[in-house]
Amino acid sequence: MSSSTSSQGVVDRVQSFVSENKRAILIGTAAALVAIGGVAYYASTSRSGGNEGDSEKGERKKDKKKNKKRKTVKDKDGPILEERAPKDADVPEDGVVFTAEEIARMPTLERSMLAATLKAKGNAAYQQRKFNTAIDLYSRAIQVTPKPEPVFFSNRAACYVNMSPPEYQKVVEDCDMALSLDSGYVKALNRRATALEALEQLEDALRDYTAATILDKFQNEAAAASVERVLKKLSTKKSEEILSTRERRLPSHMFISAYFGAFRPRPLPELPAEHTTGDETLILGLQALAAADYVHALTLVNEAIEQGISWDAGKAEALNLRGTFKFLMTDVVGAKEDFLASIELAPSLTQTWVKIASVYMEQGEPQKTFECFEEAIKHNPDDPDIYYHRGQVLFIMNEFTEAAENYTKSTTLDDQFVFSHIQLAVAQYKSGNLANSMATFRRTLKAFPQRSEPQNYYGELLLDQQRFQDAIDKFDRAIELERAKPPPINVLPQVNKGLALYQWKQDIGAAERCCQEALRADPECEAAVATLAQLSLQQGKIEYALEMFERQSELARSEPELINALTYQYATAAQLDFMKHYPEMAGQLSQMARMA
């Protein structure tokens, strides 16, 4: 949790910047960007969450009412809307069916007229809700016509929608035919999309709804709402699939070291005089941890527990460490088990209480979270870690004043941990105490002249105040300090600089270069990937944007992060698909954009 303040912050800001500007993107830059902004628009509104259940219900109610009024058919796009009523009297009897030979002998004109008549009769039958008859009539129209018309198939599809149960597979097949004859047939697109959605072929449904929305120039609200709905279903479903099958893995080195960095180092536990192999393995694991060799630390601690640890204090350490790794690998339940077992063996290990607090926070139980902090304080009221982490929880809950008090307490107990100072300054800023915040930052810059973090976060705060040049100066200083140290380097200042250049001068090229450079140094920097994705999207580099969103999905750790990345990924993919299938439209859109 504490560690996520760093990189997650940037990602959030990138995305909120984009969503705050979505109107501007949508309205201001017109067509090609309509399409592009459209993606950002769907994605950001679908992220808003909240009372979607209600609105959906509301919509359904509305639909019902509409249907009652029309009293006709289930499918709102039924053929009645597009067809005139039959008027010819001289039509063959309904029962007359021609053989293939008879049809072949008929003159073309006669066949056309016959087809038109059959279609008209089909429409009449449809209106009377005689769907089987209508299907038969449309089928015969298809059989006799010398030149198949898309409407024959689309109308027959409408009948299949109205069968009970609806025959969605046939709807799809007929719409396929209709669309192969006229790819811009919006009604058929919407109809096929509905069927595909019902068949749970969500990716295909999204592709069709997206195309329908763009072809309608974003005027059709129902289609736009469908895009959002399917996008949400699709990303939620995919996210579940991915998370249930993906092997749990450690986050980036930067992330892990930030997490462990938020706990003050403790001396190694003392080995008992008579010790086992497991005991020795544990000590090796803790040494690997101290050397920031996390992969080995993880393997060794697992091994130690398997081999068996002979003394309670050692076991408690081991369980604490294994639980921490599980927590980092988003196995919250497993982490909790280990932490609780650890606290059972060593109730005075305040670190474990603090970590259990994080678990409860993760599980949405703030009450229990605070009880754990209280318990930790009972065991050691002078442990600065407790107050820092309680500050973090309060910060997340937007309780900035209390958060600031807790950070201050942490710094009075130990003033060597740079993040308590930084977080204090940020909490003061968030609670509207600008002067104090600036003073805290200036003090922190002076106290930690070799650390990049105060520079970076001070820069963020300046950026928030739109003091662009000052912000960039701080980011530059942070970049310089990071370059001076041995790798791995923290590339966040680089990404921030890019974002600042973009917000200040709309210099997309420079922003991209900053992010690319960041990625070269740290290919797992989610903030850089997310920013690049958004920047590419805004320039219409859809393919590259898609690549970046896919990468963002790979890097995403938690479920909300993954759903968010997948939402953008699928929205972008659907749009790319549109541009491939409707190149004329894509060209037209970008031309309009250039003129705007």
Q: Which stretch, 19-27, 79-87, 108-116, 386-394, contacts ligand NAG (CB under 6 A)?
A: 386-394
**What is the DSSP code string of 102-143?**
HHHHS-HHHHHHHHHHHHHHHHHHHHTT-HHHHHHHHHHHHH
Residues in the chain: 596
Question: Which of 193, 288, 394, 499 is close enough to bind ligand NAG by CB under 6 A?
Answer: 394
Omega cis (within 30) before 107: no
- Which residue, 80 or 394, has its beta carbon nearer to ligand NAG? 394
* Site membership for ligand NAG, residue 405 (CB under 6 A): yes
List CB contacts of 213: < 8 A, sequence separation 6 or more: 38, 220, 223, 224, 227
**229 is a contact residue toward ligand NAG (CB under 6 A):** no
Taking the alpha carbons at both ends of the chain, their separation in whole angstroms is: 45
Please tell me whether residue 406 binds ligand NAG under the rule CB under 6 A: yes
For position 507 contacting ligand NAG by CB under 6 A, the verdict is: no
- Using an 8 Å Cβ cutoff, are 131 and 97 in contact? no
If the CB atoms of residues 303 and 399 are measured against ligand NAG, the closer one turns out to be 399
Query: Would you give the binding string for ligand NAG spanning residues 338-377, x where CB under 6 A is met?
Result: ----------------------------------------
Residue placing its CB nearer to ligand NAG in the complex, 402 or 559: 402
Taking the C-alpha atoms of residue 214 and residue 582, their distance in angstroms, rounded to an integer, is 10
Angstrom distance (rounded) from CA 276 to CA 301: 14
Nearer to ligand NAG, 263 or 407 (CB): 407
Return d(Cα 494, Cα 472) in angstroms, integer. 10
What are the residue ranges of helices labelled H in 246-365? 253-261, 277-290, 294-307, 312-328, 332-345, 350-362
Residue nearer to ligand NAG on the CB measure, 356 or 472: 356
Would you give the binding string for ligand NAG spanning residues 463-492, x where CB under 6 A is met? ------------------------------
Count of residues touching ligand NAG (by CB under 6 A): 7
**Please, which residue, 387 or 419, has the CB nearer to ligand NAG?**
387
Q: Which is nearer to ligand NAG, 329 or 377 (CB)?
A: 377
Q: Which among 371, 370, 112, 383 has a CA at the least distance from the CA of 265?
A: 383
- Measured from the CB atom, the residue of 182 and 402 that comes closer to ligand NAG is 402
CB of 433 to ligand NAG, least distance (A): 16
Cβ proximity to ligand NAG: between 21 and 401 the closer is: 401
Per rule CB under 6 A, is residue 389 in the interface with ligand NAG?
Answer: no
Which of the stretches 18-26, 147-155, 325-333, 400-408 binds ligand NAG when contact is defined by CB under 6 A?
400-408
| Residue 151 parent element (H or E) | helix 150-161
The string of DSSP letters for 386-432 reads HHHHHHHHHHHTT-HHHHHHHHHHHHHH-TT-HHHHHHHHHHHHHTT
475 SS3 class: helix
d(CA 9, CA 3): 10
Q: Which of residues 362 and 405 has its CB atom nearest to ligand NAG in the complex?
A: 405
Cβ 33 vs Cβ 548: under 8 Å = no
Interaction pattern, residues 161-180, with ligand NAG; x per rule: CB under 6 A: --------------------
Q: How far is the CB of 375 from ligand NAG (least distance, A)?
A: 13
409 binds ligand NAG (CB under 6 A): yes
What is the closest distance, in whole angstroms, from the C-beta atom of residue 373 to ligand NAG in the complex? 7
Give the x/- contact pattern for ligand NAG in 110-149, rule: CB under 6 A: ----------------------------------------
User: Least separation, in Å, of the C-beta of 370 and ligand NAG?
Assistant: 6
Using the rule CB under 6 A, is 83 a contact of ligand NAG? no
Measured CA to CA, the distance from residue 390 to residue 384 in angstroms comes to 10
Q: How far is the CB of 402 from ligand NAG (least distance, A)?
A: 4
At residue 543, what is the residue type? E
Closest distance between ligand NAG and the C-beta of residue 392, in Å?
A: 11
CB of 187 to ligand NAG, least distance (A): 58
Taking CA atoms, 321 is separated from 87, 94, 304, in Å, by 82, 80, 11
Q: Which residue, 19 or 406, has its beta carbon nearer to ligand NAG?
A: 406
Minimal distance, residue 293 CB to ligand NAG, in Å: 35
Sign of the dihedral defined by the CA atoms of residues 333, 338, 341, 347, in that order: negative
* Cβ-based burial of 174 (10 A; exposed 0-12, middle 13-18, buried ≥19): buried
Closest CB to ligand NAG among 320 and 428? 428
Of the candidates 225, 201, 209, the one whose C-alpha atom is nearest the C-alpha of residue 56 is: 225
CA distance 137 to 143: 10
Return the number of the residue (320 or 406) whose C-beta is nearest ligand NAG: 406
Interface with ligand NAG includes 410 (CB under 6 A)?
Answer: no
CB of 435 to ligand NAG, least distance (A): 21
Return the range that interacts with ligand NAG (CB under 6 A); candidates 224-232, 330-338, 387-395, 585-593. Answer: 387-395
Q: Does 402 bind ligand NAG (CB under 6 A)?
A: yes
Say whether residue 390 binds ligand NAG (CB under 6 A). yes
Task: Please say which residue, 219 or 367, places its beta carbon nearer to ligand NAG.
Answer: 367
Let me know if 139 is exposed, middle or buried by CB neighbors in 10 A (0-12, 13-18, 19+): middle
Considering beta carbons, is residue 348 or 412 the nearer one to ligand NAG? 412
Q: Does 557 bind ligand NAG (CB under 6 A)?
A: no
**Closest approach of ligand NAG to the CB of residue 364, in Å:** 17
Identify whether the C-beta of residue 73 lies closer than 8 Å to the C-beta of residue 164. no
Helical pair 384-396 and 400-413, crossing angle rounded to 10 deg: 160
CB of 421 to ligand NAG, least distance (A): 16
Q: Which residues contact 306 (CB under 8 A, 6 or more apart)?
A: 278
Binding residues vs ligand NAG (CB under 6 A): 387, 390, 394, 402, 405-406, 409
